Amino acid sequence: MSDEEKVITQEELQEEAAEKLTEEQEQLAQDMAIPAELAQHLVLNDPEFGQLVASMLASRQLYAMCMYELDMLCDKKDFTGDDYKDLELSGDVEESHIPMLKEVLINSAAVQAQQPFDEKLLFNGFVQTVFPWMQKVVVEHNKMQEEANKKEFEEMNAKRIVTPLKLGVQWFPESVTNTGSEIQRGKPVLLVGLESAVRWVIDKITEAALEEGSNVNQTLRLNSGGKPKHSSPKVWYVSKDDWENVANTNTEFGRMYARNVADNLIDPVDLLIVDDLRHATPSHEFSSMHFTANEGQKKLKKWADQLGCLLIGCVGLGRDLQPNELNRPEFETLRVHNILRAVEARKLPQVNGEEVKYEITVGTCKFGEVAESELEEYAPKKIITP
C-alpha cells in the first residue's frame, strides 16, 4: 500500500481534531486579550459603561429572583384544590405537569420580550409594577429564609447540646457504658485543689478541647491571670479585670458577654472555664470558700444552660487538700449540684538525678505528670515588699 493510500486511524483523527481545537482556542484567547483589557478599563473608569454593566447585572439577578419566586409559587399552589376546581381543562393536573407549566410560562415571557417595545413604557412598568412587586417579594423571601435558617440552627443546636464532650479526663472511672471520659453538659464540674495543679489541669483541658474529636468547637475561658497559652480562635480568653464579680447579679454575665465575648466567637460556646470562682462574686471576710464558690457556680450555671455548654469552675487553694476533705459536710451542697473533683499533686520518686516530677490526679484517676519547674510556673506570684 502506497503512502497516498495509507488509512488514517480513528485515534489519529481525534488527535488532529484536538490539535486544531487547541490552536483555535489559543487564537481566540489572543484575539480576546485586547477587548477584555478595554472592557475592564471602561467598567472601572467610564461611569456610563459602569452603570450599563451594573444594570445588566441587576437584570440578570432580577431574572434569577423571578425564577426562584416561580418555584415558590408552584410549590405553594394546589392546582388540584378547590381554588382551581372551576377550570375547564382537558384533563386533570398531575405532578408531572408542573415542570411543563414552568417551561410554558418562561417561554411565553421570552417570546414577548423579543417583540419591539417602548422604553418609556418599560420604565413606567418598572416603577409602577416591578418595583412594588420586588419590594413585596423580597420581604417574603427574607422572612422565609430567616425562618429556614432559624429552624436549621435550632436543629443543629439541639444536636450540639446533647453531644458529650471528650476532654481527656476520667470523670467517671466507675462507668461501664463508656470509658468514663465523656461528659454531658447538664451538670457543672467543680475542680478544687492546690492552685498550681488546678491551673495546670485546666490548661491541659483547654488543649484537649482543641483536639479533633473533643466535640468542642468553641471554648470561653475566664482567665484569672497569666498569659494565655493558646492563640487559636477556638479559645477566647477574658481577662480578670473584665469578668471579676461577673456572678454578682443574674444579669452581669450577660453584659460582660455582650461587651467582651459575643463578637469574638467563631461558633457557639461548648465549654466555659472559670479559672477561679472566688473572683466571680464579691468576697467578704465572713464568707467561706464553699459559700463563695457555690454562689458563683449557681449563677454561671444558668448562663451555661442558655449557651448550651459545659461549665467547669475552679477553686485553687494555697495548700494541698487534706485526705477526704471534699467529703466533709461543708462540701455537701457543692457535691449535690456539681461534679466535684479533687485535684492533687503527688511528688514522684526522683530517678537517676532527673528533675523532680509530680503526678497530677483528678478525682481518683491519674491525669498526667508534670515537671516541678513547670508546675512552679503555675503557682501564684507573691508580691515582695520591702
pLDDT tens for each residue of 170-224: 998 876 666 678 999 999 999 999 999 999 999 999 999 999 999 999 999 999 8
Mean pLDDT of 254-280: 93
Pairing relationship of beta strands 165-166 and 182-183 according to DSSP bridges: antiparallel
The domain defined by 166-377 folds into: Rossmann fold (3.40.50)
Q: Out of 24-33, 194-203, 271-280, 298-307, which region has the weakest mean confidence (pLDDT)?
A: 24-33
Residue 270 sits at the vertex; the CA angle it makes with 269 and 275, to the nearest 5 degrees, is 85
307, exposed or middle or buried, with CB in 10 Å at 0-12, 13-18, 19+? buried
What is the average pLDDT value for the chain, to the nearest integer? 87
pTM of the model: 0.69
Q: What is the pLDDT of residue 83?
A: 80
Q: What is the pLDDT of residue 315?
A: 93
List all residues 6 or more positions away from 344 whose beta carbon is below 8 Å from its beta carbon: 193, 194, 197, 320, 321, 360, 361
pLDDT band at 41 (very low <50, low <70, confident <90, very high): confident
Q: What is the pLDDT of residue 384?
A: 44
pLDDT band at 26 (very low <50, low <70, confident <90, very high): confident
pLDDT tens for each residue of 349-366: 887 878 899 999 999 999
pLDDT band at 373 (very low <50, low <70, confident <90, very high): very high
List all residues 6 or more positions away from 319 whose beta carbon is below 8 Å from its beta carbon: 194
Q: What is the pLDDT of residue 227?
A: 73
Q: What is the pLDDT of residue 385?
A: 38
57, exposed or middle or buried, with CB in 10 Å at 0-12, 13-18, 19+? exposed
pLDDT tens for each residue of 118-162: 888 888 888 999 899 999 989 988 888 888 888 888 899 899 999
Specify whether the CB–CB gap between 267 and 156 falls below 8 A: no
345, exposed or middle or buried, with CB in 10 Å at 0-12, 13-18, 19+? buried
Q: What is the pLDDT of residue 7?
A: 64
Specify whether the CB–CB gap between 358 and 346 falls below 8 A: yes
Domain ranges of the chain: 10-158, 166-377
